Amino acid sequence: MITFQDVEKRYPDGTLAVESLSLELPAGKTTVFVGPSGCGKTTSLRMINRMIEPTSGKITIDGQDVTTLKKAELRRGIGYVIQNAGLFPHRTVLQNIMTVPKLNGVSTAEAKDRAFELLDTVGLPREFASRFPTQLSGGQQQRVGVARALAARPKVLLMDEPFSALDPVVRHELQEEFARLGPELGTTIVFVTHDIDEAVRLGDRIAVFEKGGRLAQFASPEELLTSPANDFVASFVGKDRGYRALSFREVGTEVRPVVSIKLGDSTSGLSAPGAAVVDQSNRYLGWVRPGEANDSVSSLEQKPRVHHGDTLRLAMDAVLTSPDGLAVVVGDEDRLVGGIDLALLAPMLQGDGARP
Measured CA to CA, the distance from residue 287 to residue 285 in angstroms comes to: 7
CA dihedral 220, 52, 175, 194 (to 10 degrees): 70
Report which of 275, 254, 240 is spatially closest to residue 345, judged by C-alpha positions: 254
Q: How far apart are CA 126 and CA 156, in angstroms?
A: 26
Question: Helix 108-121 and helix 93-103: axis angle, to 10°?
Answer: 130
Domain map of the chain by residue range? 2-248, 260-353
β-bridge mates for residue 214, sequence order:
210
- Which pLDDT value is given to residue 318? 87
Full pLDDT tens readout for the chain, 356 residues: 899 999 999 999 988 999 999 999 999 999 999 998 889 999 999 999 999 999 999 999 999 999 999 998 898 889 888 877 788 899 999 999 998 888 888 899 999 999 999 998 888 899 999 999 999 988 889 889 888 888 888 889 999 988 887 777 778 888 887 887 778 878 899 999 988 888 988 899 999 999 888 999 999 988 888 888 999 998 888 766 666 666 667 777 788 899 999 999 988 888 888 999 999 999 999 999 998 999 899 889 988 988 877 888 888 888 888 888 999 999 888 999 999 998 888 887 765 444 33
Q: What b-and-e string marks burial along 334-347, b requiring 16 or more CB atoms within 10 Å of the CB?
A: bebbbbbeeebbee
The pLDDT value recorded for residue 350 is 66
Q: Which SS3 state, helix, strand or coil, does residue 315 take?
A: helix
**For residue 32, what pLDDT is reported?**
95
Helices (H), the chain: 41-48, 71-76, 93-103, 108-121, 138-150, 168-185, 196-202, 221-226, 231-237, 241-245, 312-321, 342-348
Query: Which class would CATH give 260-353?
Result: alpha beta
Q: CATH number of the domain at 2-248, out of 3.30.70.100, 3.30.70.580, 3.40.50.300, 3.40.50.1000?
A: 3.40.50.300
**Three-state DSSP string of 279-311:** CCCCEEEEEECCCCCCCCHHHCECCCEEECCCE
